[in-house]
A and B are shown apart, each in its own frame.
Chain A
Amino acid sequence: MPIEIDIAHVARLARIELSDQQLADYRAQLGVILDHAARVQELPTDGVAPTSHPLDMVNAFRDDVVSPSLDRDEVLSQAPDAINGFFRVPPSLDNE
């Protein structure tokens, strides 16, 4: 079964801006890898529960206690753009 990949949609979901050539290249590479990965479909797994976690444990919690936060200057020193204690980013939508 050939694997269908809407690579532009996938790249858009992942927020990676790629050229048409790059999209075509990645689409081809993903096709090869997914052909191999699709072998998981060959194993009979009726009634087999998925494992999302290798440990069979439950309930790791913390107490509702306040602990120190980070120093703001230290945090903002790593920001690409900051002003007046805020992180700054371009607007959410195109200006009309």
Chain B
Amino acid sequence: MKWEPVIGIEVHVELETQSKMFCGCAVDFEAEPNTNVCPVCLGLPGALPVPNRTAIEWITKIGLAFNCSISERSQFHRKNYFYSDQPKNYQISQFDVPVCHDGWIDVTVDGETSRIRVNRAHMEEDTGKSIHVGESGRIHSATETLLNFNRAGVPLVEIVSEADIRSAAQARAYAQDLRTVVAALGVSDAKLEEGSIRFDANVSIRPVGTEPFGTKVEVKNMNSFRSLERAVDYEILRQADVLDQGGTVDQETRHWDEGEGVTHSMRSKEGSSDYRYFPEPDLLPIEVTEEWRNEIAATLPELPSARAARYVGLGVDADSATSLAGSEPLMVMFESSLAAGAPAQVAANWLTGEVTAWSRRESTDITDSALTGQHVAQLAAMVEANSLSSTAAKEVLGHVLAGEGDPADVAAAHDLIQISDSGALESAVDQVIGENEDQFARLAGGEDKLIGFFVGQVMRVTGGKADPRAVTDIIRSRIG
């Protein structure tokens, strides 16, 4: 049977507010264990939550960025379940009326764009952190658990997509785009490695051409976009295998094992969960008036999709435009390069190529390098004027990034200025012809591939500083 995957993604985004969602403890993950805790986030008897206004503004911002409707009046609920790193044994979350609902984003895979609907984005609080101590460090063989509540109560936005995603690649693209937007909003550092943005996938399959959804499996524990894609792919194949062999898919939660490249069923004593949601009596409803919503909307930055479209309009290829628009440091550098007069596509090439490679290699943020938009523009002008070869330009760029100075100084210091002065080039060509008369006769006799040999010799004589195009022109003129 041919199967069609049906995928929804749930994303948890930790907001990078100063203080926690319901108390004044600092949001700071580097602190010593259990030092950013107070009666509220430790669930001490008698403590009461008071919501962080900024968090409400930021979830509204997220909702607007994903084209959501903002509920005029929403409400917190208690989600009841016992877990030792959850201080109150209920999570303050939202249930039937979230702050944001019914949005969408457009996701492009292999040039094909699909609209993925966002069901909702709701406000909740994070749990503390458990360290399962044991021989293998894994939960199943742990001998004890250590608890740190510094993360308990950090504001968390849960963004739930509709089951509109149809492939692992699309799931990855959705997740990446979503991360990019959240990072652009400046409301979260959105780092997968640090768990400040976390993705779960709901995966089911159905026979191609049919409507009803299959049994959905929740897949957790993916900490990179690549593992998200692999996990979803694996799960699609696993379910197809089960069904092809006449089995049934269990509704369950499965854990992605990065090392083994498989999903494992998560053992759970609890049958089906029953969260006993009810309206949180300690909190009042949230009312986002049109006026407040408009104020928040006015603070929205240009979003990556709009920005990428603008770059394409400037002549940048689509892939580079997406990369530049999706990265805050690249975007800043690109904008300042344009402002300094660099041609868009040239700046785009360098920034997405050499500069990005350098940043990865050196594990250094572009914004922490010595490179400026002025430098990029200067470099582009030198290439345009033929005083730098494109190869030399890349070398110069490397030295500039390393902080050696501006491109003109660096090129001079490393003797990389290209000779495009025709007098000097002509005498170099003539010298090489004089030294290789036999080969020149063969070239003149029609053995055209020898032109490369002569260009190479001229480059040798000039120490690589000759403009190869100009050299070629002169050699051809000598054949006459």
Tell me if chains A and B make direct contact, with any CB pair below 8 A: yes
Please report A residues at the B interface, Cβ cutoff 8 Å: 13, 15, 52-53, 55, 57-70, 72, 75-76, 83-93, 95-96
By Cβ-Cβ distance, the 6 closest A-B pairs, closest first, are: A67-B24, A64-B54, A52-B279, A61-B53, A86-B146, A87-B147
Residues B34 and A72 in contact, CB atoms below 8 Å apart: yes
* Stretch from B25-33, B60-68, B388-396, B448-456 contacting the other chain: B25-33
* Stretch from B99-107, B134-142, B254-262, B398-406 contacting the other chain: B134-142
Residues A69 and B26 in contact, CB atoms below 8 Å apart: yes
Residues of chain B lying within 8 A (CB to CB) of residue A55 = 284
Given A75-B34, A90-B144, A93-B267, A61:B52 Cβ within 8 A: yes
Please report the C-alpha to C-alpha distance between residue A61 and residue B58 in the assembled complex, in whole angstroms. Answer: 14
Residues of chain A lying within 8 A (CB to CB) of residue B19 = 62, 64-67
Instruction: Give 13 CB contacts A-B under 8 Å.
Output: A13-B80, A53-B285, A55-B284, A65-B24, A67-B38, A70-B38, A70-B39, A86-B146, A89-B145, A90-B145, A92-B84, A92-B139, A92-B145
Residues of chain B lying within 8 A (CB to CB) of residue A76 = 34
Residues B42 and A75 in contact, CB atoms below 8 Å apart: yes
Shortest Cβ distance from B50 into chain A, in angstroms? 5
Please report the C-alpha to C-alpha distance between residue A48 and residue B51 in the assembled complex, in whole angstroms. Answer: 29
Please report the C-alpha to C-alpha distance between residue A90 and residue B133 in the assembled complex, in whole angstroms. Answer: 10
Given A69-B38, A75-B34, A89:B284 Cβ within 8 A: no
Please report the C-alpha to C-alpha distance between residue A62 and residue B147 in the assembled complex, in whole angstroms. Answer: 27
Please report the C-alpha to C-alpha distance between residue A44 and residue B17 in the assembled complex, in whole angstroms. Answer: 46
Please report the C-alpha to C-alpha distance between residue A65 and residue B130 in the assembled complex, in whole angstroms. Answer: 27
Shortest Cβ distance from A50 into chain B, in angstroms? 8
Residues of chain A lying within 8 A (CB to CB) of residue B23 = 67
Residues of chain A lying within 8 A (CB to CB) of residue B132 = 91-92
Of the candidates A61, A72, A75, A95, the one whose C-beta lies within 8 Å of that of B32 is A72
Residues A87 and B34 in contact, CB atoms below 8 Å apart: yes
Shortest Cβ distance from A36 into chain B, in angstroms? 21
Residues A64 and B53 in contact, CB atoms below 8 Å apart: yes
Please report the C-alpha to C-alpha distance between residue A91 and residue B137 in the assembled complex, in whole angstroms. Answer: 11
Please report the C-alpha to C-alpha distance between residue A10 and residue B305 in the assembled complex, in whole angstroms. Answer: 50
Closest to B81 in A: A13
Residues A66 and B25 in contact, CB atoms below 8 Å apart: yes
Q: Is B459 an interface residue (CB 8 A)?
A: no
Shortest Cβ distance from A5 into chain B, in angstroms? 14
Closest to A96 in B: B140
B312-324 interface code vs A (CB 8 A; 1 in, 0 out): 0000000000000
Give the total of B residues in contact with A, Cβ under 8 Å. Answer: 56
Please report the C-alpha to C-alpha distance between residue A60 and residue B276 in the assembled complex, in whole angstroms. Answer: 25
Closest to A86 in B: B146
CB interface residues, B 118-140, toward A, < 8 Å: 130-132, 134, 139-140
Residues A75 and B148 in contact, CB atoms below 8 Å apart: no
Residues of chain A lying within 8 A (CB to CB) of residue B82 = 15
Please report the C-alpha to C-alpha distance between residue A89 and residue B56 in the assembled complex, in whole angstroms. Answer: 34
Q: Is B248 an interface residue (CB 8 A)?
A: no
Residues B145 and A59 in contact, CB atoms below 8 Å apart: no
Please report the C-alpha to C-alpha distance between residue A59 and residue B52 in the assembled complex, in whole angstroms. Answer: 10
Residues of chain B lying within 8 A (CB to CB) of residue A95 = 140-141, 143
Shortest Cβ distance from B85 into chain A, in angstroms? 9
Residues A88 and B145 in contact, CB atoms below 8 Å apart: yes
Residues B38 and A64 in contact, CB atoms below 8 Å apart: no
Please report the C-alpha to C-alpha distance between residue A87 and residue B80 in the assembled complex, in whole angstroms. Answer: 22
Residues of chain B lying within 8 A (CB to CB) of residue A90 = 144-145
Of the candidates A69, A87, A88, the one whose C-beta lies within 8 Å of that of B35 is A69
Q: Is B436 an interface residue (CB 8 A)?
A: no
Q: Is B434 an interface residue (CB 8 A)?
A: no
Closest to A78 in B: B44
The listed residue with most A CB atoms (<10 A of its CB), out of B37, B134, B146, B278, is B146
Given A58-B73, A88-B144, A92-B142, A72:B35 Cβ within 8 A: yes
Residues B144 and A91 in contact, CB atoms below 8 Å apart: yes
Residues of chain B lying within 8 A (CB to CB) of residue A64 = 17-19, 52-55
Please report the C-alpha to C-alpha distance between residue A18 and residue B283 in the assembled complex, in whole angstroms. Answer: 33
CB interface residues, B 126-173, toward A, < 8 Å: 130-132, 134, 139-149
Please report the C-alpha to C-alpha distance between residue A61 and residue B24 in the assembled complex, in whole angstroms. Answer: 12
Q: Is B435 an interface residue (CB 8 A)?
A: no
Of the candidates B18, B38, B145, B287, the one whose C-beta lies within 8 Å of that of A91 is B145
Q: Is B36 an interface residue (CB 8 A)?
A: yes
Residues of chain A lying within 8 A (CB to CB) of residue B143 = 91, 95
Residues of chain B lying within 8 A (CB to CB) of residue A85 = 32-35, 148
Residues A66 and B26 in contact, CB atoms below 8 Å apart: yes
Closest to A82 in B: B34
Residues A61 and B56 in contact, CB atoms below 8 Å apart: yes
Closest to A59 in B: B287
Given A93-B139, A93-B140, A70:B131 Cβ within 8 A: no
Q: Is B209 an interface residue (CB 8 A)?
A: no
Residues of chain A lying within 8 A (CB to CB) of residue B25 = 66-67, 69
